Structure 1
Amino acid sequence: MSGLLSADLPEEYLELARTVRAFATEVVAPVAHHHDQTHTFPYEVVAQMGEMGLFGLPFPEEHGGMGGDYLALCVALEELGRVDQSVAITLEAGVSLGAMPVFRFGTDEQKQRWLPDLTAGRALGAFGLTEPGAGTDAGGTRTTAVRDGDEWVINGSKQFITNSGTDITTLITVTAVTSELDGKRRISSILVPADTPGVLVEPAYDKVGWNASDTHPLTFTDVRVPVENLLGEEGRGYANFLRILDEGRIAIAALAVGAAQGCVDESIRYAGEREAFGRPIGANQAVAFRIARMEARAHTARLAYLDAARLLLAGKPFKKQAAIAKMVASEAAMDNARDATQVFGGYGFMNEFTVARHYRDSKILEIGEGTTEVQLMLIARELGLPG
């Protein structure tokens, strides 16, 4: 047996994995190609995920959550990522970038206002961090929030923002420069209701992959929100979002492992069914060894994200392990997608096959939530190397 169900995990996580796998197989997979080809958001799937409690997995019941933990979220993401990365990233971003900042840094009033709908999947939140001139260098943020009496006035633009333009998007957490200290810009996080005047959701991107995931640029023009919409301490937005990204890298790693495992599963099935020269192609050592290497990548990457998640849950430092997991898993997803496409031959180049979608979808895993180069930088820094 391969995959998450063979992992050494407590039974409650394995039961969750079985439940989400069945949902992914019976509900998500049959409509994945349609939403990918039509570039439509899978509202019906998201609604069912909300009813299952997936958006509330790592949150306490007092906020409408399921009382689980971050590892439970990762388990769900791996199983969804096996069949449809767009659906998986919708959940990952909705939890890690939408609801988690409010849970980690919000006031009691902010939590009471926003979390019940976000954790139930009735609403989605977005995290407005990346800008046209500030991606990896997020400290180069140009969006500003100026205090005017009892309001913040926000001006600027954001790009590549997931879950920012759906019909159920209700909240955007915006990072903005609120002041300067000793010549350095102080970045804060501010909660902006999506229907606030001055918030413009620009047309959706025409992407290579993740076509059923909602992604837009955002423009903020004299957007006014109350001063109490400040999330956390003023000037701590940069530090706070770094914590959010560290956690998010574990979740992205789990999603990537799902994609890598999905490529293994599809290749095993196809190699057993497809015949050439009178026997299944899986009987050929070249194909068998290729699939064996794919399984080794997925297994190794899974161990990496499980290790990082366990450190997080234990309250121990996990930055290095999260970076390792994200890098190893994203590379495994990309490499396995390439190899799976080769196993499928001409069929692997046809979009109706899952491996073709994984081939297009997986590249962004090496870019989003910190590029591979950023992960290497973080790992080197944690090792104490100079620079």
Structure 2
Amino acid sequence: MRADVFTSDHEDFRHLVREFVAKEVVPHYAEWEEAGRLPRSFFERLGSLGLLGMAVPEDYGGGGQADYRYNVVLQEEAARALVTLGTVRTQLDVVLPYFLAYADREQRARWFPGLASGTLLSAIAMTEPGTGSDLAGIRTTAVRDGDTYVLNGAKTFITGGLLADLVIVVARTGSDPQDRRAGLTLLVVEDGMPGFTRGRVLDKMGIKVQDTVELAFDDVRVPVANRLGEEGRAFTYLGHNLPQERMTVAVGSVAQSRAALETTLDYVRQRKVFGTTVAAFQNTKFELAAVAAEVEAAQAMLDQAVLALVGGSLSGADAAKVKLFCTEVQARTVDRCLQLFGGYGYMLEYPIARLYADARITRIYAGTSEVMKVIIAKSLGL
């Protein structure tokens, strides 16, 4: 029932990714979860195969294919193998678009080759303690002093911040009492800049392979040459990329829902209780039938949104609808599937337990479900 989303080029790419994940990710995944991060060498391996630089212009060592569907394929194939590549997803779908859209020629020459090759890792630092989704409430400040900005503040919940060589920091460079959104600027802080420190690695209940850290900036002097775009325009820039960021969460939610359904089908066909397979019980059939119908509906909604995003017509409200619906479907799917595993579903040796724990964050990051409802309500004139 899937829409005609992908071309033969995307399917060729899918074959490459499927083989890569099977050989280079699955055998090491438990080790990476234990370490709480993906190793730098993994990013370099991705870069050598061209998987990180698909959207980077060819002049800088990339593939010149700014087609979001390649990112969708990467997520789908990771989920199919019952793994997640959260930090990779963040770098490609959330951070890289800012560099592509707002880096000037000098910045492109300086950063793009490393971003494409996997030798430069990136993160974006928006969230602060006490602000959450209220980006207009950002307190981190950057004061212009000649050809530098003096940056002070703290950020939290920063995905990929532990290994990042380049961190795009959202800072306040000015204020307007009439407009809280005005005066925000994007500054690229580089690893090793004096005053830039990484705090503790946060201990999360899920997505263990994705490092999440606190960052602090104490009189960090950031060259004006490291500013992305114009001073004071960051809120507009952030709003421009949020639909794709939310779509990225939705893509993962549907792909992981499918993975939960498939691994549960395999389990109930083999597991026997009371002398018969779990699959033979009517309750099992009804539960999985309902799950399959919901996942199919989410996939249909998502596919149309992916095509709209690629075509440049996806609105912020529609992206919010997709994220809200797909993440809620994911929550119901993994919960119902885990139930059919019985006690084994609570054991981390079974992938359904990891899928369950990983799913909880999708209704929170990139804007909570409540924020999505506010956005949708506004689009309805409410």
**TM-score over 0.5 for the alignment?**
yes
Cα drift, residue 256 of structure 1: 1.4
Cα drift, residue 18 of structure 1: 3.3
Match status 1:278 vs 2:275: yes
Cα drift, residue 280 of structure 1: 2.1
Match status 1:78 vs 2:73: no
Cα drift, residue 41 of structure 1: 3.0
Which residue of 1 is the match for residue 94 of structure 2?
Answer: 97
Which residue of 2 is the match for residue 235 of structure 1?
Answer: 232
Match status 1:27 vs 2:24: yes
Do 2:169 and 2:186's aligned partners in 1 also have CA atoms closer than 8 Å?
yes
Match status 1:177 vs 2:172: yes
Per-residue CA deviations over 1:228-280 (Å, capped at 9, x if unaligned) read 21111111101101112221111111111121111011011111111223332
Q: Which moved more, 1:38-47 or 1:73-82?
A: 38-47
Q: Which moved more, 1:286-295 or 1:203-212?
A: 286-295
Aligned counterparts of 1:206 and 1:345: Cα–Cα separation in 2:
27
Shift of the 33–346 alpha-carbon distance from structure 1 to 2, 3 Å rule, reads: farther
Which residue of 2 is the match for residue 311 of structure 1?
Answer: 308
Aligned counterparts of 1:62 and 1:253: Cα–Cα separation in 2:
32
Match status 1:347 vs 2:350: no
Instruction: Report matched runs for 1:196-235 at 5 Å.
Output: 196-235=193-232
Aligned counterparts of 1:344 and 1:44: Cα–Cα separation in 2:
36
Aligned counterparts of 1:345 and 1:324: Cα–Cα separation in 2:
33
Per-residue CA deviations over 1:40-89 (Å, capped at 9, x if unaligned) read 434454343333322223333233322331121112112213445542x1
Shift of the 333–45 alpha-carbon distance from structure 1 to 2, 3 Å rule, reads: farther
SS of residue in 1 equivalent to 2:90? helix
SS of residue in 2 equivalent to 1:102? helix
Which residue of 2 is the match for residue 148 of structure 1?
Answer: 145
Which residue of 2 is the match for residue 250 of structure 1?
Answer: 247
Shift of the 346–37 alpha-carbon distance from structure 1 to 2, 3 Å rule, reads: farther
- For 1:176, the aligned partner's letter is A
Cα drift, residue 296 of structure 1: 2.3
Across the two proteins, how many residue pairs are aligned to each other?
379
Instruction: Report matched runs for 1:39-118 at 5 Å.
Output: 39-68=36-65, 69-83=67-81, 86-87=84-85, 89-118=86-115
Do 1:145 and 1:153's aligned partners in 2 also have CA atoms closer than 8 Å?
yes
* Identical residues among aligned pairs (%): 32
Shift of the 277–338 alpha-carbon distance from structure 1 to 2, 3 Å rule, reads: same
Which residue of 1 is the match for residue 132 of structure 2?
Answer: 135
Do 1:304 and 1:324's aligned partners in 2 also have CA atoms closer than 8 Å?
no
- Aligned-residue RMSD, C-alpha: 2.0
Do 2:44 and 2:117's aligned partners in 1 also have CA atoms closer than 8 Å?
no
Cα drift, residue 114 of structure 1: 1.2
Per-residue CA deviations over 1:180-225 (Å, capped at 9, x if unaligned) read 2355451111111122111110010011011111110100000001
Cα drift, residue 98 of structure 1: 2.5
Do 2:242 and 2:316's aligned partners in 1 also have CA atoms closer than 8 Å?
no
Shift of the 342–43 alpha-carbon distance from structure 1 to 2, 3 Å rule, reads: farther
TM-score by length of 1: 0.92
TM-score by length of 2: 0.93
- For 2:165, the aligned partner's letter is T
Match of 1:160 among 154, 157, 160: 157
Shift of the 145–322 alpha-carbon distance from structure 1 to 2, 3 Å rule, reads: same
- For 2:330, the aligned partner's letter is A
- For 1:171, the aligned partner's letter is L
Aligned counterparts of 1:317 and 1:349: Cα–Cα separation in 2:
38
Question: Where in structure 2 are there 5+ consecutive unaligned residues?
Answer: none
Aligned counterparts of 1:291 and 1:131: Cα–Cα separation in 2:
40
Question: Where in structure 1 are there 5+ consecutive unaligned residues?
Answer: none
